[in-house]
């Protein structure tokens, strides 16, 4: 006889990507970490929705390469999903200290994800040395008690995991809106929990 799933068997997953925007027109430069939070058992339909938006020959959606019209479609598709969107926006960014900005924003993002019950986080994979730096940060946060030991951080490649296309889009849309561009695109995402942190 099949057993009913227990409440403590349920665990949310989150997919995370970064974005940066240089200072311009009197506005501070930004470093953003965006997360899309979802029930992992219900993500296949979202993956298919995102794959259906690929241009012929493309291996992934990448916000910076998209036209405004396509950005509207992508944002609308994400906004229609049963997901939570969280973005940590750090400012002002010093491009010589990008990893410091990432560490500050990562600490806050992982704390927020931990608080809502996320148990598995997938960061977009960079190269080995930077991935190792991220894991050392996670270990340090656990030791300090900033996050619990139940939240696990791993890496994924956007060519293999369409769920990573969503935080890329969310970060890009929020970044543009902060600079006064394409606010209607960001509106298509629906509710986004935006958290500001100071980097200096």
* pLDDT tens digits along 76-124: 999 999 999 999 999 999 888 899 999 999 999 999 999 999 999 999 9
Nearest-angstrom CA–CA distance, 119 and 173: 26
Average pLDDT over residues 190-199: 97
3-state helix, strand, coil in the chain (%, to 5): 45, 25, 30
Q: Which fold has domain 11-198?
A: Nucleotidyltransferase; domain 5 (3.30.420)
pLDDT at residue number 9: 60
Nearest-angstrom CA–CA distance, 78 and 95: 30
- Residue ranges covered by each domain of the chain: 11-198
- Model pTM? 0.93
User: Left (φ > 0), alpha (ψ -120 to 50) or beta: where does 75 sit?
Assistant: alpha
């Amino acid at each position: 006889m099949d057993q009913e799933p227990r409440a403590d068997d349920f665990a949310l997953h989150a997919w995370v990507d970064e974005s940066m925007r240089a200072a311009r027109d009197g506005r501070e430069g930004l470093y953003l970490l965006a997360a899309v939070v979802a029930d992992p058992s219900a993500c296949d339909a979202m993956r298919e929705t995102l794959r259906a938006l690929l241009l012929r020959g493309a291996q992934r959606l990448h916000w910076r390469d998209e036209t405004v019209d396509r950005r509207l479609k992508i944002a609308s598709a994400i906004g229609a999903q049963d997901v939570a969107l969280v973005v940590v926006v750090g400012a002002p960014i010093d491009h010589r200290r990008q990893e410091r900005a990432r560490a500050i924003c990562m600490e806050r993002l992982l704390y927020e994800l931990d608080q809502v019950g996320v148990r598995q986080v997938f960061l977009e994979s960079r190269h080995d040395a930077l991935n190792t730096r991220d894991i050392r940060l996670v270990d340090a946060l656990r030791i300090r008690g900033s996050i619990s030991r139940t939240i696990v951080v791993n890496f994924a490649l956007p060519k293999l995991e369409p769920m990573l296309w969503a935080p890329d889009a969310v970060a890009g849309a929020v970044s543009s809106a902060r600079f006064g561009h394409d606010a209607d695109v960001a509106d298509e995402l629906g509710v986004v929990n935006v958290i500001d942190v100071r980097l200096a």
